[in-house]
Structure 1
């Protein structure tokens, strides 16, 4: 059986595509540069990942349902903290060895890890259950990480590094900078520390999201470096004919027999419109060409033929396979081309959608045209795209004005998916990126999406431009993305202007909070065990605010920081036990001290009742102090003396050394810190994150973190048009602890729609309805 296998046109082994040949020395130097680049970036990855794991493992452990799972996570956390340096060193060492093995084909890490022990003479070897479980767990993590990588970037690394070595391109699971290599290096570095199996698994799972993020950057950097040296500056997929053996019982193989049901199916025998790829002889030719290697692709061949005879299960299976990034996640696959009559009908529908045709009639027309003018694969493509838009329409986050504009792009999306069938499997497909960009922009809590807003008008203008300019060149979407980026920039400037005052207020609150902490610390140094409780409370609750305002604004009620601190020292001295000789000095001091207190208290907004209550208590205390001094003349003073003295000039002087012995007893007790898990959850927040807030009735709204103070003690939450709130850390921790707030993880609306479609029976149901 002749089939086609996709290979990059890597040109001669000693030449760069579209560039000058590279001499062996230059190729070797570039290989070393790439090796050093990959090792450097992955060294940063392991360092940064270990920083985050302490927080993430704590959060996950607190949320774990089972006691065993929680203990495994806590043990993993302890391992990270105790052996962080060992893990970093061993990972770098293991990865460097594996990189060299893959680069120069000195044996596969996967093969060595999963190799079974040699069989004893005359017997069979048993494969360790733990080794099997490890391999299954790592394979699962590898697949998840691979799905998050850009297939085009992956192919670029595989092709360009192979070109430097003068060999055919690396396989997807065997190139030097693959997820397999990273996870194998992690496994080896952890195995050397001999953790329990469940602890090792917990750590590998915790590393998984960081691996995908890091490798995305590694791939982009390697490709950029090699492109800049003219190593395959462009990679053009091509079909390379090779001999392949089909599976026994394959419907595609049976189609060659005249008595086969597949051979007599519409379009297979005669090349009619129901055939894959085209009408007449072209349909059969397309079917022959649609053999580009791999067991899963052979299965897809069969499914396409089964669809041509209306087998419902085949439609569902084909839809799932089309959305599989491992099989179809690359551009320019040699897939069957769309039927010309269908494209012509879509051109006409696109023109009518410029007039704002209704969404439901438009979707119905699309499906009708696909059934009457397209192949079974075309029909499946149209149905999946229409279901994606059904999910988008049902998304309650999306405002109606923007939703209506997106629905006008249904025809464009169908055409784009027919022209490049990687739409369902490749996140970087131009149309998918465009749809996600619009949804992200419109669902931003700070976005103004009123019917007359600049944002909605801008989206409508760009949709009009796409409808008027898109024919069959997907590069149109790059220009559309640039226009949406400009619109997003303008929206960001509008948002920045709206949030400026709110941010300024928050920054002032943060500065006041820091200054108030400083003021409280200064007060704590000066009070002593004999300072009355009501004076302590007043100083901490109110005078610390006056001091903070004086520190930030330069004055409070006309008093500078030093003057306000003098007033506090006078107050503390005035309520300390007095000798008869000190009474005249107290009497002369009180009017000036009380005047200073009143002016600054007015500036910080103390309530009248609170102010009167304090000064009445202060008056009673001073009265008793004077009486006690007269009655107790000649008696010994208390053992603990105040560290503050009033000189003959009436100026208070604080003796810090005298305060050290008594200050501990006088300080206000410190509240217990929040639980570690709550702290960790709030610590993980970043500016721009989305938070879902729930009120007492259960109603929710999504807000954005517009600002976080440098000390992470104050957070500003915002939502257009009128929600803006500053929260201190304690309040936000409380909200997360009680479930009133939760972080909303970013996600792609199109990804969610395609994943949902691939898991249900909607495609098969539509086939029955059709």
Structure 2
């Protein structure tokens, strides 16, 4: 693998300050450069960090030492030169803006050598072909994903360049331009071809994944600067044939008053039907697709998501049933309340219209004072008091509106039981009450749609203060993100549900960044745990090898102790460095056979000096001092009896006891199975060995029943060790699967399933169970802790 070399004859990049453009154009381009550089610099740094992690993993899993050394050399080169990539990339970005309208297609096939009218031809470098193909594929894919935003950006850059709209391949900050800039900037890293291709794939995931958002930001910046601020794209819609349009209307008219989820589920075949292929092909694929969907929606599946991140496997299929059940429970509740009312005839109440209720509701709670701590019930009473002053004492809410207040109040009550009273997010939950009341009065889907944006936002804010979190589990960046989301809703919600959607989307984006940081921290701990596992496996292999070679022979006790300690370290290190198929391992096996033969031979014989030198050299590689290594080598290379020199033997034994052995930490922390597992414990043990990595487990911490969630990041079915991290990816515990199975069987721990993973779902199930109990029905098992 040869490193990339800078291309000769490259022109010096142009700067915006020296660009021959009008002043207003330069100002706009400067603003574009500021926005793009801020966003791309952060993403490029994340890309380089991710590439370092990938190279380290590849080196760790290399099959032979040669490949491992190549990866480690590449990693060192990357760390040495990574600081040059971002400045070089920014210079290229600025040059593409400064030469606006002059650039050609940024990613081209490598040109063939052409001279003398076609008489001299050369082959194209395969490395250049690979790089061009990968980059062209990345650019084409992301051009299609953000085609509309890129089209608008091309129109605006065309105005700046005083030319027709720029196509996507000539567009500064476009996918083709960024890929071309990266290809030039990567020369500073001096990486071989394989590493460059790996960097391109990492660039695709880390940088280009957010390219659509970057283009939207640049469009918004240009619009703010007054460049085509009213530019919009209005697609031309083709008129459908009359027969098809009529049949479509006939199919849709009976469904206009159905809930959205019911309409979506009423035509599953139309949504899942493949675009190409025969009907038989679709029928053959349907069962497999249904199994995948059912597995993703299984409420008993282990929960593996991070805090606040939306689980894509929502339970949308049950919305209609939940809506019908909710109506039945509320009707039963109203009927039961009516029986307890006084029999004295009263004047019929003046039912308030929903528009009147919404008009009388405040837009937000006060920022301070007693009213800032109002509950949903307080908001309702204050609303009725003000309306009755206007309409008389007989004014009352309609049955549906009253149910909405009651349901939201019960839901908030259950949420408050699930969070810490002094949680930083508690005031934010109070601020969301009025917007949620207004939303729920107009959109009953808030109660029955698990993926409703307002419900997701409420869940994220509530979960940050959940009782299963330690104080240090929440990332410090999470609270400002939630503050911004809640402030946006409070300030901008004017009965438009899209405000919740935008706030939740922005919050989810920031939470994904926090989750990615936690995953990186978690990955480092996993790599360390895997390293310990490899050490443990190698150590077991070494001990088993020594035991097999000794067999029924009886070497002196002290010699056997040296074999199991000092020489076992040599075999362990050889396995880790070279593997069981290497020539070095075979040589160490032969040396071990000679040691066993010499030490088990009866009678006196001369020491084997060549064997002693080989043993001493091997021990020196493990870290033994020359004197200790020589003393151990003399013992292992001859049949000297333990009793011949008790003083030197005792001195050597004391030195070995005081010495830290290879993998001693693992051996000291490994717990032995005290007693055989019961049938229930064995079943739990087998269940744990099949769990996906990342499963969350709740542990009971005290007799009061307080719990804490820990993430089972990794476990080994070989060594039985398990690694746990917290919500920030920090290692908090290591224990064996055996001890974890016993905790599960005793009820001191439990696996978090999807149905009880989110706080909002647990609170909602508790609310429904309260309604069932009030109506005389038995609680649903779904609401109980699993």
Bucket of the pairwise TM-score, normalised by the shorter protein: 0.3 to 0.5
* TM-score, normalization by structure 2: 0.46
* TM-score, normalization by structure 1: 0.47
